[in-house]
């Protein structure tokens, strides 16, 4: 058996019908019921029927991505019984990782991420903030370019743009006020970035504009009981392994307005001797990033019965 880790995706990989391939798998149905009971609404119907616009609302996206990722993980555990040696999550995916690690139950995590999503949406009205992916430019140059653009608006200005997701060596996501993000896209392209792609999101996630949301989240986290992790979890704000409940709460608070250090998370997984990294949940975004971060790593996706069979065969020889 190859030692391996699981990673969990964040917003952006959701799609209507994303759990259809699992059919009536009892473990998936159980996860959907648990999440639905915790929210008091039919999560299964929302995922199956959409519409796409409803699924794309942050307040819906975060809970449905959580339950879809946890469902896939539970199928893996039900069919193999072999836990990963470490877990991590990209942005929101950290909450899925926490459920996998036994730190939170799905019943705890579902309303918590719904609260987080609502706080984030309330912090910055739709249309005021923006995000964009900068491709083909070193992260340090993106950081410097964003700082120059922010300074260019003058002291005391509400316009701000920051590097917020370090996804792979040639892809950094920026976020902030709409005018500042648009200006940064122009400047970074002029400075040599291959592309600057606006992202279809409803808020400038992980930027300093999310601080009001983070303050609400910090208050909410005070009432959440965390269990001791059963699997090593590498968080994405500090690239650290925390076991103390107060330190976990603080990291989740800061994660809401701090950058996702994904390149470093993947490097930290490799440093533990884990060269097989499985993206657990809808989509294949993280699996692709793994290979771009380090060609020596083997990135795989587990999102349906066919990919489950592939991962089992690759990792377990079964």
Which token pair is 202? Answer: 């409803």
User: Any bridge partners for residue 278, and if so which?
Assistant: 6, 300
User: Any bridge partners for residue 8, and if so which?
Assistant: 89
CB 264 within 8 A of CB 239: yes
The string of DSSP letters for 21-42 reads GGTT-HHHHHHHHHHHHHHTS-
Which token pair is 192? Answer: 């040599």
Position 92 scores a pLDDT of 96
Position 201 scores a pLDDT of 85
Helix (H) or strand (E) holding 87: strand 86-89
Residues 6+ apart with CB under 8 A from 316: 1, 80, 82
- Percent of the chain scored above 70 by pLDDT? 100
Q: How does the average pLDDT of the chain come out, rounded? A: 96
CB 119 within 8 A of CB 154: no
Q: What is the pTM of this model?
A: 0.96
User: Active-site residue 90, yes or no?
Assistant: no
Lowest-confidence range among 51-60, 83-92, 272-281? 51-60
Which token pair is 168? Answer: 């792979």
Q: How far apart are CA 161 and CA 180, in angstroms?
A: 6
Each residue's pLDDT tens digit, 208-220: 999 999 999 999 9
Task: Exactly one of 91, 177, 202, 207 is catalytic; name it.
Answer: 91
Each residue's pLDDT tens digit, 2-54: 899 999 999 989 999 999 999 999 999 999 999 999 999 999 999 999 999 99
CB 55 within 8 A of CB 110: no
Position 318 scores a pLDDT of 61
Task: Exactly one of 25, 90, 206, 298 is catalytic; name it.
Answer: 206
Each residue's pLDDT tens digit, 149-175: 999 999 989 999 999 999 999 999 999
Is residue 112's pLDDT more than 90? Answer: yes
Which token pair is 23? Answer: 């059919």
Helix (H) or strand (E) holding 167: strand 161-168
Which token pair is 42? Answer: 């039919």
CB 7 within 8 A of CB 97: yes
């Amino acid at each position: 058996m190859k030692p391996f880790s699981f990673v969990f995706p964040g917003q952006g990989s959701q799609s209507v019908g994303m759990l259809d391939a699992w059919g009536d798998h009892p473990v998936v149905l159980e996860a959907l019921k648990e999440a639905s009971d915790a929210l008091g609404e039919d999560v299964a119907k929302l995922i199956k029927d959409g519409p796409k616009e409803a699924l794309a609302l942050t307040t819906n996206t975060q809970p449905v991505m959580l339950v879809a990722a946890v469902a896939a993980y539970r199928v893996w555990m039900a069919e193999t019984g072999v836990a990963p040696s470490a877990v991590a999550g990209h942005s929101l995916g950290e909450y899925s990782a926490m459920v996998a690690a036994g730190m939170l139950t799905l019943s705890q995590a579902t309303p918590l991420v719904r609260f987080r999503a609502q706080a984030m949406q309330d912090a910055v009205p739709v249309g005021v903030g923006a995000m964009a992916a900068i491709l083909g430019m070193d992260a340090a140059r993106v950081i410097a370019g964003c700082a120059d653009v922010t300074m260019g608006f003058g002291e005391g200005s509400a316009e701000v743009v920051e590097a917020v997701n370090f996804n792979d060596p040639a892809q950094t996501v920026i976020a902030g006020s709409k005018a500042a993000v648009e200006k940064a896209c122009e400047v970074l392209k002029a400075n040599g970035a291959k592309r600057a792609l606006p992202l279809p999101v409803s808020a400038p996630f992980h930027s300093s504009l999310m601080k009001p949301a983070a303050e609400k989240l910090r208050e909410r986290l005070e009432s959440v009981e965390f269990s001791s992790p059963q699997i090593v979890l590498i968080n994405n704000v500090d690239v650290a392994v925390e076991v103390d409940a107060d330190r976990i709460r603080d990291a989740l608070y800061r994660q809401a307005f701090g950058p996702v250090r994904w390149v470093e998370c993947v490097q930290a997984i490799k440093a533990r001797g884990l060269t097989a990294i499985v993206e657990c949940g809808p989509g294949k975004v993280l699996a692709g990033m793994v290979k771009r971060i380090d060609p020596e790593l083997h990135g795989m996706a587990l999102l349906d019965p066919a990919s489950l069979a592939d991962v089992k065969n690759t990792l377990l020889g079964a």
